[in-house]
Amino acid sequence: MGRLTGKVAIITGSAQGIGAAYAQGFAKEGAKIVIADVLDGQKAVEDIKRAGGEAIYVKTDVTDQAQCDAMAAAAKERFGGVDILVNNAAVFGSIVMKPFTEYSTKEFMKVLEINVVGQFHCMKAVFPFMKDKGGKIVNIGSSSINEGVPGMPHYVASKGAIMALTRSMAREMGDFKINVNTIAPGFTHSEGGNNFDKNKAMDIPPLETLQLNARCIKREALPEDLIGLALFLSTDDSAFITGQMIVHDGGLSFH
């Protein structure tokens, strides 16, 4: 029996990449999975089903509260409730690194809308289904807030806001036995991450090169590396941990 047998997990941004890895890892531990993404998530669903798991796809734009509410309602209707939310949806791979003076307010706000407001929408959406029985919320941040990465101020600001939001929500949700924590990965190879350096408009080495040389553990970071920590924060093993950010970047930054 898996550690998440009988649990229902919504994982946003899980049609591909790191989100799909979370979904597959959680399914292997027995969770019933809701693939929530603006992209087509049917392949991710089929991958889980082929491995013997249960999953559905719900097209979800996290910037729209109504769609997030529908996502949570679909989980309730199909699987009977919501126990876990992994707030993974974010914009990263399409960002063009450039001097901060070249960013428009519109560009800046769009990243905040997806990366921060989107997570807030999803937490609001699942709360009615968790408040009577408890639950686990895992927000995905970034160790970039410790590094001060140049050329992407909106992204770094958004991930800093996620940590602050996590602390606030942990305070509000604690009385309902809902744990809210943040994982802060470093640069991780995925569909989005692998294209990142192709878009930059600054004369700096590839982000992966910079991080690899600075890590204590000098190897590539892969989506599979993140599954164990996400599982830990989604099980009773972490029942007394909330409001925390756990850095997961191979020793690139210390927090």
Residue of 22, 57, 103, 155 marked active site: 155
**d(Cα 105, Cα 128) in Å, to the nearest integer?**
34
Q: To 5 degrees, how large is the angle CA 120–CA 125–CA 129? A: 130
Inter-residue contact 184 to 164 (CB < 8 Å): no
Q: To 5 degrees, how large is the angle CA 157–CA 187–CA 152? A: 30
Length of the chain in residues, anyone? 255
Supply the angle between the helices 105-112 and 153-173 in degrees, to the nearest 10.
30
Residues 6+ apart with CB under 8 A from 203: none
Supply the angle between the helices 42-50 and 17-28 in degrees, to the nearest 10.
30
Assess whether 57 carries a catalytic annotation.
no
DSSP-assigned states of every residue in 136-172: EEEEE--THHHHT-TT-HHHHHHHHHHHHHHHHHHHH
Catalytic residue annotation: 155
